[in-house]
Amino acid sequence: MAKFGEQVEGYTIPVLNEREIRAAAGILFLIMFISIQQAASGDFTMLKYAVIGFLTDMLIRVFVSPRFAPTLIIGRLIVRNQTPEYVGARQKKFAWKIGIALALTMFVLIVLVNSYSPITGLICFVCLIFLFFESVFGICLGCKTYPWFFKDKVQYCPGEVCDVKSRHEIQKTNWGQILIVLGFIAFIVLNYFLFNDFFSQPPFDLFGIGGH
């Protein structure tokens, strides 16, 4: 069996490239999001294929090797000109095992049993949250649970979040900035109450191209 992770000079444990992992998460998020949107409208066909693809990809990552996982290969091609950001392979493997558990449950309920329920809805929501945080923020939520089950120290986290240190000046926020965010939210809510009836009106074809 191929070893899990890559041995890179200067790193004491096997590592993976976080940049290609984030790219792969973005690909999976897009596919799952579109599939779930289709399912919400009553057509579960695309979601069934997406679940099979998601489960297969995760199984290859964990039980074969990440270097052979289709989405990670695509992710590697997309970010091939970017400098790698190395992260510990151990916590990623644990997070992907969580992904397998979720995908396997979905496979049984949606593909084999051909059913839907609040359970499948919740799993879909959790998967989207996990993929969104990974692809957009570089935060592996599954990796966050690794220390709950293993006593060894987590090494080489994205953005060096494993290491406790003071924030750089550019990373700090003050109360004025927090108030700006709250004011922005209040502004959007105010727009909803003032203009919702107007915004709810369907738009008309400006150039009459659609025709009837």
Segment 60-66 long-range contacts (CB within 8 Å, at least 24 positions apart): 61/93, 61/96, 62/4, 62/93, 62/96, 62/97, 62/100, 63/1, 64/1, 64/2, 65/1, 65/2, 65/3, 65/4, 66/4, 66/5, 66/16, 66/92
Question: What per-residue confidence (pLDDT) applies to 1?
Answer: 44
pLDDT for 92-105, tens place per residue? 999 999 999 999 99
Asked whether the predicted pLDDT for residue 187 surpasses 80, the reply is yes
Neighbouring residues of 131: CB distance < 8 A, sequence distance ≥ 6 = 25, 26, 28, 29, 32
Q: What's the rounded mean pLDDT across residues 46-71?
A: 95
Whole-number pLDDT of residue 163: 58
Least confident among 78-82, 106-110, 142-146? 142-146
Q: What is the pLDDT of residue 169?
A: 80
Tell me which of 190 and 143 has the higher pLDDT.
190
The per-residue pLDDT for 202 is 85
Spell out the long-range contacts of 134-143 with Cβ–Cβ below 8 A and sequence spacing 24 or more. Answer: 134/21, 134/22, 134/25, 135/22, 135/23, 135/25, 135/26, 135/29, 136/26, 138/18, 138/22, 140/91, 140/92, 140/95, 141/95, 142/94, 142/95, 142/96, 142/98, 142/99, 143/91, 143/92, 143/94, 143/95
Nearest residue to 85 via CA among 175, 142, 18: 18
pLDDT tens, position by position, 2-43 = 468 888 988 888 899 999 999 999 999 999 999 999 999 999
* Confidence at residue 35, expressed as pLDDT on a 0 to 100 scale: 96
Whether 99 contacts 58, CB under 8 Å = yes
Q: Are 87 and 158 within 8 A, CB to CB?
A: yes
